[in-house]
Amino acid sequence: MQTKKTIAVIGAGGNMGSAISRSVSKGAYRLLLKGDSQEQLDALVKEIQTTTPGADVEAAACATDASWEADIIILAVPYQAEKEIAEKIRQVANQKIVISIANPLNETYDGLVTEPGTSAAEELQRLLPNAKVIKAFNTTFAADFNSPSISGKQVDAFVAGNDEEAVKTVSELVKTAGFNPIAAGELAVSRTLESMQLLLIRLGMKYNYNWLAGWKILHN
Ligand SMILES: NC(=O)c1ccc[n+]([C@@H]2O[C@H](COP(=O)([O-])OP(=O)(O)OC[C@H]3O[C@@H](n4cnc5c(N)ncnc54)[C@H](OP(=O)(O)O)[C@@H]3O)[C@@H](O)[C@H]2O)c1
If you take atom 21 of ligand 1, which residue's CA is the nearest one? 14
CATH architecture of the domain with residue range 5-207 = 3-Layer(aba) Sandwich (3.40)
Secondary structure class of 73 (helix, strand, coil):
strand
Percentage with pLDDT > 70 across the chain: 99
Q: Is the pLDDT of residue 79 over 90?
A: yes
Burial class (CB in 10 A: 0-12, 13-18, 19+), 199: exposed
What residue ranges do the domains of the chain occupy?
5-207
Element (H, E) at 7: strand 5-10
- The per-residue pLDDT for range 113-163, each reduced to its tens digit, is 999 999 999 999 999 999 999 999 999 999 999 999 999 999 999 999 999
Q: What integer pLDDT is reported at residue 3 of this predicted model? A: 86
Query: CA-CA distances (angstroms) from residue 1 to 28, 52, 96, 184, 201?
Result: 11, 22, 21, 29, 42
**How many A from CA of 76 to the centre of ligand 1?**
5
Provide the residue type at 65 as one letter: D
Strand positions, DSSP E, 102-176: 132-135, 149-150, 153-154, 156-161
Does 17 sit in the ligand 1 pocket, CB within 6 Å?
Answer: yes
Provide the residue type at 1 as one letter: M
Give the residue from 6, 5, 24 showing the smallest Cα distance to 137. 24
Q: CA-to-CA distance for 144 and 210, rounded, in angstroms?
A: 11
Q: What integer pLDDT is reported at residue 1 of this predicted model? A: 63
Mean pLDDT of 183-196: 98
Residues paired with residue 159 on neighbouring β-strands, in sequence order: 183
Percentage with pLDDT > 90 across the chain: 98
**How many A from CA of 169 to the centre of ligand 1?**
23
Q: Which of 9, 10, 16, 119 to mutate to test the pocket of ligand 1 (most atoms within 8 A of CB)?
A: 16
Q: What integer pLDDT is reported at residue 57 of this predicted model? A: 98
Longest dimension (CA), the chain: 49
